Structure 1
Amino acid sequence: MQWKNMTQFHKLYRYLQNSNIKLLYEGTFQGLSNLDNLRMSGNEINILPKGAFTGMPSLQNLYLDSNKITTMQVDAFQGLVNLLVLDLSKNDLPQIGFGVFNQTEEYKLTTLMLQRNQIKIIKRDDFLGLDKLEYLCLFSNQIHTIEDNSFHRMNLRYIYLFQNNLSNITGNPFGSNVLAQLQIYRNEIKYFAPESFVKIPINTT
């Protein structure tokens, strides 16, 4: 698929939704340097390869929800330095994976939707590189463990973790002094470590 003569396009909403797309390759979207919104919801995509979205420096909103994604390779979102919203909800991701976001780039991402996947563990390096992230949706997964410092180094204001399998919260996983809302209902929490919420503002709901 070549887009060399389509640099004038800004939105491909209807063109790539529910289109039975199964594979993406490195550089698939080369030539769409002016595109700012891309919807690929409701396809059959299984893997996000390295550099799948290179050549799209203007992209701000990327919707990959309702696919069959199980794997995101290292640097899958390489070059998306202006991306603000990323929707990966309703896929089959078992984990996020270290290095998905290139550590040498400064991302502007503020909203990350990962709800309704198969994620079981949140690791401390899963969100490295997302210093500006404000909204993180992780509800309706199978999360049973959140490693210490998993949400540090971010600007998180809203974390949605309800409807998971959390039973113990230990260490200081949240570590945010700007957090406005933390939703963890419908889990099976039996124990909170005393230090778990030490840095969270008292007016957090």
Structure 2
Amino acid sequence: MSSWLTLVESPEDMIFILELVYIFLLLVGPTVCLCPNQCACNAVSGFVNCREKGFTNVPGGMGADVDYINLGNNNLTKITTQSFQRFRRLHYLTLDNNHISDIAELAFENMRELRVLNLQWNSLKFLRKGVFRGLINLQDLRLSYNSLRKLGFLNEEDLYSLQTLYLDRNNISTLNSLTFAHLHSLKFVHLEYNRLSAMEDGIFSGSLDVEHVLLTGNKINRMSPASFKDLRTLRSLNLDVNQLSSVNFETFRNIKSRYTNLYLDSNPWHCDCDLQRTFNKIHLTKNLHIVRYEELACHKPGEVRNVTLKALGTNFCVAETVTILVITITVVVAVVAAVVTTERNRRQRMQNSPHIASI
């Protein structure tokens, strides 16, 4: 302290330094002092940590210029238009592991600087259209582990900056061409463990630069040839643990990415010549790669159940073709024999009956 005081050469210098300290305290004072009871606040980072404090409502007493609010693991049940309207500079908002079942329309309208919104592990069954209006800089939206069924709320023009979307482990059963229509910056889509049964045309027509689509653990048994059409940067498509028994080569050929990893393990494949030809075409397509192909196993027919597609080799298709050919020849021979026998019997009847012969 004494060495610091030696720098003060006059009372004017001391007054000047005190004025600087006063101005500094005015600037940081609200961030330091405005901290809700039970929470921990960091003035430097602007971090307000109110995690696991038993709050049933958003607590007051926070400075409007905070950067990060963590309200996870509390007992919040709803978000109103008043809950966060003051936090115009907020970048990160964590609300996971609450009991939130209702979020008001325009609840986040004033939070134009928000980058990450975490709503995982709540009780959301639906979200109103317009609930995310105003979030023009949102890049990461986390809605995993809820009970959402419909995704109309994503049809929002203000979400054009969204890059990562977590929708895994909900009750989503359908997607359509409007679902991601305005998500032009989308890169990662997590849809694992929902109730999807089909992939229709043009689902990603508004998000042609998506890079990773995760559909693991659904009930998908049908995919349109245009489901992933014209995706330009798709790096991975995960369809593990679904109900696919066959696939159309066009579904994958329509992907326009330079290189795409396909995950197709743990599906009930019906192994026949058509399936083998499809996978052979995929192998010959330079921009497509089946990950863990050696683990893909047949489910039907019974004689090849649990045998891998790779183990079947080309002989399986040859054998099937020979079998079909033998069956076809056998049927033709049987038909010809039946015709010959019928004709022979007819002639014998004519010879044995003079009346018929005279006619």
TM over 0.5: yes
Which of 172-181 and 20-29 deviates more? Answer: 20-29
Q: Which runs of 5+ in 2 are unaligned?
A: 1-57, 262-359
SS at structure 2 position matched to 1:197: helix
Question: CA separation in 1, counterparts of 2:233 and 2:154?
Answer: 25
* Equivalent residue, structure 1, for 2:103: 48
Q: How far 1:194 sits from its partner (Å)?
A: 4.0
Distance 1:159 1:100, change over 3 A: closer
Question: CA separation in 1, counterparts of 2:156 and 2:259?
Answer: 34
Structure with higher helix content: 2
SS at structure 2 position matched to 1:195: helix
Q: How far 1:195 sits from its partner (Å)?
A: 2.9
Question: CA separation in 2, counterparts of 1:4 and 1:100?
Answer: 32
Distance 1:106 1:24, change over 3 A: closer
Choose from 234, 257, 260 the match for 1:204: 260
Q: How far 1:8 sits from its partner (Å)?
A: 1.6
1:29-86, CA deviations, whole angstroms, 9 ceiling, x for partnerless residues?
1110010000000011113332111111110001000001111111110000000100
* Equivalent residue, structure 1, for 2:192: 139
Q: How far 1:178 sits from its partner (Å)?
A: 1.0
Q: Which runs of 5+ in 1 are unaligned?
A: none
Choose from 11, 14, 23 the match for 2:68: 11
Question: CA separation in 1, counterparts of 2:125 and 2:109?
Answer: 20
Q: How far 1:6 sits from its partner (Å)?
A: 2.3
Question: CA separation in 1, counterparts of 2:116 and 2:250?
Answer: 36
Q: 5 Å matches for 1:1-205? A: 6-13=63-70, 16-97=71-152, 99-103=153-157, 105=158, 107-154=160-207, 155-175=209-229, 176-200=231-255, 201=257, 203-205=259-261
Question: CA separation in 1, counterparts of 2:251 and 2:201?
Answer: 9
Q: How far 1:151 sits from its partner (Å)?
A: 1.0
Question: CA separation in 2, counterparts of 1:141 and 1:28?
Answer: 30
Q: TM-score, normalised by structure 2?
A: 0.53
- Residue 162 of structure 1 aligns with an amino acid whose one-letter code is T
* Equivalent residue, structure 1, for 2:327: none
Q: Verify the 8 A CA contact 2:76 2:98 in the aligned structure 1.
A: yes
Q: Verify the 8 A CA contact 1:20 1:43 in the aligned structure 2.
A: yes
Q: Verify the 8 A CA contact 1:4 1:31 in the aligned structure 2.
A: no
- Residue 69 of structure 2 aligns with an amino acid whose one-letter code is L
1:3-47, CA deviations, whole angstroms, 9 ceiling, x for partnerless residues?
79722211112xx11111111123431110010000000011113
Q: Which has the larger radius of gyration?
A: 2
- Residue 178 of structure 1 aligns with an amino acid whose one-letter code is T
SS at structure 2 position matched to 1:196: helix
Q: Verify the 8 A CA contact 2:225 2:254 in the aligned structure 1.
A: no
- Residue 173 of structure 1 aligns with an amino acid whose one-letter code is S
1:77-130, CA deviations, whole angstroms, 9 ceiling, x for partnerless residues?
000000010000000011212x53423x36211000001111111122111210
Q: How far 1:202 sits from its partner (Å)?
A: 6.0
Q: Verify the 8 A CA contact 2:132 2:159 in the aligned structure 1.
A: no
- Residue 24 of structure 1 aligns with an amino acid whose one-letter code is I
Q: TM-score, normalised by structure 1?
A: 0.91
Question: CA separation in 2, counterparts of 1:114 and 1:22?
Answer: 20
